[in-house]
Structure 1
């Protein structure tokens, strides 16, 4: 029970800080909305191209944007924990009897809520542009990107605590995010790529997560594609949580 109580305390503090600066939440939503309005219409004319996956253009494009939001929204939170370490907040937390894992879990929970709210807004905007998906697909999709955001939040916070430098965190985050973006079919489905690129993308677990969310938006919630994507997402969350907790424990040594 101590872990859950401490996690709630850290979460409420982190959420209050986020609500005091809602501009950052809005900025985090700006890029996906720009992709939605400026890039999305280009896919409408491509929906009939050979190799385009089942579903209309919006059922293919919006899930990719949601996954992008979960990944990038979680990856960049490490800058915040570096600022708190520099100001002495982390050191003060570490001398309390609070569970070490809760110091990461509370922050990750805040990031999960923020990303899910941003995802709901993005889906609402996409609805006006022609997206039509069942309500249960929206719920499953938001839960999926929430778990993904939590995993990357833990990983980003762990990197931030390990490097304690924005100059080191930025290139690490970019070098991690770029292959994920290019080889997961977030913007364009990999079925349109050359065969050698499709084979390369098949070893990227995030490609299967993107495929799973697209299947969810087509209403195929119980298919093996979705089960594989969900399993990979949960596994990533477990790994991210372990890495984040270990990073906090190392600060006490």
Structure 2
């Protein structure tokens, strides 16, 4: 008799678990589609965000070729410089784009549209995760465009390595995007606070990663500080991958840094989203 009673209870628990998991995945998908459609309807933002990286490529790379020899392990030619410099530019796109994700949320907070989203039956954690996953698609498109532009100028393309590198950046970008949205939720109507913190963190992280200039000639304190910068490991991993290496230790450490950034970003973002009233 007890066995007959327990069986329906197990079935009910299984159905509830399945329904809860299915709803969460459906909510994440709904938020992701909503955010992607906003990007597709306004492609100018995606195109405009490429202007700064293209300016860096057009003006900064030639100066590196003349001033710093052998960055890519060669004689300091344009092709070797691009092989060293382009991965840093792709990481820069990821960092700039995802760190400004919170600005869109700030606009929604000011206009009241975010409150309307919270009033829906969507799971709050799903809202954050869906928005964060949206960061992956623009990164892939922008990274491919930058690489294809550089190929005629001597950049060596390794397609499979490039795809793995973009996946690594996507994982990292999800974490940074989640942190940016958490900052926007904490700042709320104080827009100055969001931009002040974002700018105060963005450029030190960029410089201390060796993204634009090699750190070998930097002061010792900068080299030590760079070891605590997760972006350093992302940049080194991208350079190894886009040079055609899967087995380099830098690639492993890059995945570790990206995974930790993603985990911390989602944890902080979800915690902040759940606290939002």
Q: Structure 1: where are the runs of 5+ without partners?
A: none
Q: Deviations over 1:202-236 (max 9, x none)?
A: 22221122111111112221222110111111110
Paired position in structure 2 for 1:210: 235
- In 2, Cα distance between the equivalents of 1:196 and 1:6? 46
Q: Which moved more, 1:196-205 or 1:99-108?
A: 196-205
Paired position in structure 2 for 1:25: 46
Higher alpha-carbon Rg: 2
Matched, 1:89 2:113: yes
Paired position in structure 1 for 2:24: 3
The structure 1 residue matched to 2:73, chosen from 39, 54, 64, is: 54
The structure 2 residue matched to 1:15, chosen from 12, 36, 46, is: 36
Q: Deviations over 1:70-110 (max 9, x none)?
A: 11110111111111122222212222221111111111122
- In 2, Cα distance between the equivalents of 1:107 and 1:90? 12
How many pairs were matched up?
250
- In 2, Cα distance between the equivalents of 1:196 and 1:10? 43
- In 2, Cα distance between the equivalents of 1:185 and 1:19? 33
* Larger RCO, structure (CA 8 Å, separation 6 or more): 1
Paired position in structure 2 for 1:128: 152
Matched, 1:42 2:67: no
- In 2, Cα distance between the equivalents of 1:197 and 1:111? 30
Cα drift, residue 137 of structure 1: 1.4
TM-score (ref. length: structure 2)? 0.85
SS at match of 1:132: coil
Paired position in structure 2 for 1:138: 162
The structure 1 residue matched to 2:129, chosen from 76, 94, 105, is: 105
- In 2, Cα distance between the equivalents of 1:203 and 1:153? 20
- In 1, Cα distance between the equivalents of 2:211 and 2:64? 13
Q: Structure 2: where are the runs of 5+ without partners?
A: 1-21, 75-79
Q: Which moved more, 1:126-135 or 1:39-48?
A: 39-48
Matched, 1:185 2:222: no
Matched, 1:168 2:189: no
- In 1, Cα distance between the equivalents of 2:83 and 2:225? 24
SS at match of 1:190: coil
Q: Deviations over 1:172-198 (max 9, x none)?
A: 100110110110001012123244432
Cα drift, residue 34 of structure 1: 0.9
- In 1, Cα distance between the equivalents of 2:228 and 2:118? 39
- In 1, Cα distance between the equivalents of 2:152 and 2:129? 35
